[in-house]
Structure 1
Amino acid sequence: MTAITSRPEYFERVARRQRRQARAAWALLAPSIGLIMLMTGYPGIMMVWQSFTDYQVRNKVQGTAPEFIGLQNYTDIITSSDFPVVVARTVGIMIVTTTLIMIGGVLIAILMTKLGRAMRLLVSVGLLLAWAIPPLTATVVWGFIFDTEYGLVNWALNALTGTQDFHNHSWLLNPWTFMLVLTIIVVWGAIPFVAFTAYAGLGQVPRETIEAAEIDGADGWRRFWSVVFPAVRPVLGGVLILQIIWNMKLFTQVYALQTRGGIAADTNVLPVYLFRQGIGEFGATSAIGMLIVVIMLAISWFNIRQLLKEEDS
């Protein structure tokens, strides 16, 4: 009888303890949540609101309220002649750079698992150096390598061909070669992150499973695709989403190359296009920012759904 009557009291004590733990957890998280809301939530809400107004710098200077114009900013941007081209160029660069970064990073990670301790340390140091260089510094260095007059690339091509065809050859005036240089810079700087992350994921694959597949007669490709890849797919999926977002937000490399000789009208991507819309056009630039967010979410949606399904399973 005593045991029966004590069970409700026991469950009540457990429930009270869980409530106390929940309150303590929320109390500890409250400062971080407040900081996140202050730094991201408020600017996000303001950007959404401003995208539906004609808010300009004159409103801020004069202290007047902007007028609500609905979807006018979005209509003007979408129907402008250069916006679809900029979107297509941005998505194209994102696809090319993300593909090369993911493939290159995974291949380097697999290579690191096959190297000895000394060589693996050397490769890791090289990757860290490439990763540690700021994007602007890397762009300046690569800009000198592809420099029109003193660039190493032009000198090497002249030496290989035995001609002077590449003397004073500009790689940045042509939009296609501009994108080639940009792709090299972006891939070179982003591969280390994917390589280190994939290498850490490969280290979590049970060696016994790989050996069992090898005993069953599976070759290297079959072992990777059937055993290793399913184990690291959640890691690679998260990295892929990050790369898509980062490569859709390219600004520093593009803007720096444009200042070295690239034609802005032919090489703009969405973040640079937003920057060049004009100082103080808060309504129009907010609408462009919202369109960038929508495009990135639409592109990443499939991968996000796959990750959520894997977590639920």
Structure 2
Amino acid sequence: MSAVDTTTPAKVPAPPPDSPQRPRANRRSGGPAVPWLLLAPCLLILGLVLGYPLYRLVTLSFQDFGQSQLWGFKPAEWTGFGNFSKVLDDSEFWQVVLRTIIFAAGCVIFTMVVGMLVALLLQRVSGWVKTLVNIALVASWGMPVIVATTVFKWLFDSDYGVLNAVLSKLPGVEMVGHNWFASGPEGLAVIMLLVVWGAVPFVVITLSAGLTQVPQELEEAARLDGAGPWGVFRYVTLPILKPVIVMLTTLSVIWDMGVFPQVFVMRGGHPEADFQLLTTWSYDRAFVVNDYGQGSAIALLTVVLLLGVVAVYMRQMLKIGEVE
């Protein structure tokens, strides 16, 4: 005869009653006007600092404006597209445009290549070496442009230049008294070196920050699949750094197309014809020839060229955003 189970089933606790929901505090929002009110001071300052000079630039480019108009002896005469016609019909303008594009392209390419190599090298050195290199980069980046240009001018001086003295110590090399600025291409190469020297620190620091975001697991997986250093960089590192590279390249193009003090100071305030870029040529037309209308037209055409670069940058960033 089996024993009867006299144990009582365990009582299941009843679920606690729903606690009354507290009414949510009403979020007071001032509507869509609040962001604009917060941005109003900044937009006002930008409008005064950038808007008015741009307005005057556009206005002058359509006027016949010289010394007489500057001092108020004659009223400014509206010429329409006359200044642009004179500039575009001038063969020297197209030579300056081509020289500026080649100069900017060389600066951008060398800056990005050297910056990428240094950034990759910093990932493979010890911590104290990286700290010393970063200090040197920040110091060179913070050096004023006029000071850096003066130093380079002394380094490449034909009579007392350090570079000529060092190169002359090499066997079979005689560079004492060599004038680096006797020809336009050689002198622009020196100025290009100066521009690259000043731009590399920003590129290195930015790319080093981007390299820290590359997952180590992906690089290790690529190596296990048989990829070499170039394969890892091309198929793993480069695609992840693409947004940063596009941004840096665009900024470098804008900065290098607007190079002015390096050329102006290096040539003693009077750049020769072979050293003229769009910025210096615009300054020369406005303040040397005293034709402010043509100088403004050249500057406005330069702005249009830079807007084309910005348009390409925005298109690339939109493509990257769609892929992601």
Asked whether the two chains share a fold, i.e. TM above 0.5, the reply is: yes
Q: Which residue of 1 aligns with 2:283?
A: 275
Name the amino acid aligned to 1:288: I
SS in 2 for 1:259: coil
Which amino acid is 1:270 matched to?
Answer: L
Residues 282/35 of structure 1: CA separation in 2 closer, same or farther (3 Å cut): same
CA offset digits 1:258-294 (Å, max 9, x no partner): 119x861111111111111143432111101111011
Q: Which is further off, 32-41 or 97-106?
A: 32-41
The 8 Å contact of residues 61 and 296 in structure 2, kept in 1 or not, is answered as yes
Does the alignment pair 1:183 with 2:192? yes
Q: Which residue of 2 aligns with 1:107?
A: 117
Structure whose CA Rg is larger: 2
The structure 2 residue matched to 1:45, chosen from 55, 61, 65, is: 55
- Please tell me whether the aligned partners of residues 155 and 162 of structure 2 are also in contact (alpha carbons under 8 angstroms): yes
Aligned residues of 1:93 and 1:183 also touching (Cα < 8 A):
yes
Q: CA deviation at 1:73?
A: 0.3
Structure 1, 123-132 or 245-254: larger mean CA deviation: 123-132
Contact 1:241 1:304 in 2 (8 A): no
Per the TM alignment, residue 300 of structure 1 is displaced from its structure 2 partner at its CA by 4.3
**Identity score, percent:** 33
Relative to structure 2, which stretch is displaced further, 189-198 or 167-176? 167-176
Aligned-partner SS, 1:62: coil
Shift of 1:158: 1.8
Deviations 1:192-241 (A, max 9, x none): 11010011111112222222222333222122111111111111111111
Q: 1:210 aligns with which of 201, 219, 222?
A: 219
SS in 1 for 2:32: helix
Query: Any conservation in 1 of the 2:57–2:300 contact (CA below 8 Å)?
Result: yes
Show CA shifts across 1:55-109 (max 9, x none): 2342242275422211110111111231111111111000111000011111111
For 2:107, the equivalent position in structure 1 comes to 97
SS of residue matched to 1:276: helix
The answer to whether residue 96 in structure 2 is matched with residue 86 in structure 1 is: yes
In structure 2, do the counterparts of structure 1 residues 175 and 183 end up closer, same or farther at CA, with 3 Å as the change threshold?
same
Q: 2:72 aligns with which of 57, 62, 65?
A: 62
Deviation at 1:46, TM superposition (A): 2.1
Question: How far has the Cα of 1:312 moved from its partner?
Answer: 4.5
Work out the CA distance in 2 between the residues paired with 1:283 and 1:291: 12
Distance 1:21 1:106 in 2: 46
Shift of 1:245: 0.5
Report what 1:199 is aligned to: 208
2:255 aligns with: 246
Q: For the Cα contact (< 8 Å) 1:131–1:192, is it kept in 2?
A: yes
- Specify which of 126, 140, 150 is matched with residue 160 of structure 2: 150
8 Å CA contact 2:284, 2:295 repeated in 1: no
Structure number with higher helix proportion = 1
Counterpart CA distance in 2 for 1:39 and 1:158 is: 50
Q: 2:240 aligns with which of 227, 231, 247?
A: 231
Structure 1, unmatched stretches of 5+, are: 1-9
Question: Which consecutive unaligned segments of at least 5 residues does structure 2 have?
Answer: 1-23
C-alpha root-mean-square deviation of aligned residues, in Å? 2.1
What secondary structure, in the 3-state scheme, does the structure 2 residue paired with 1:230 have? helix
1:244 and 1:300 in contact (8 A); partners too: no
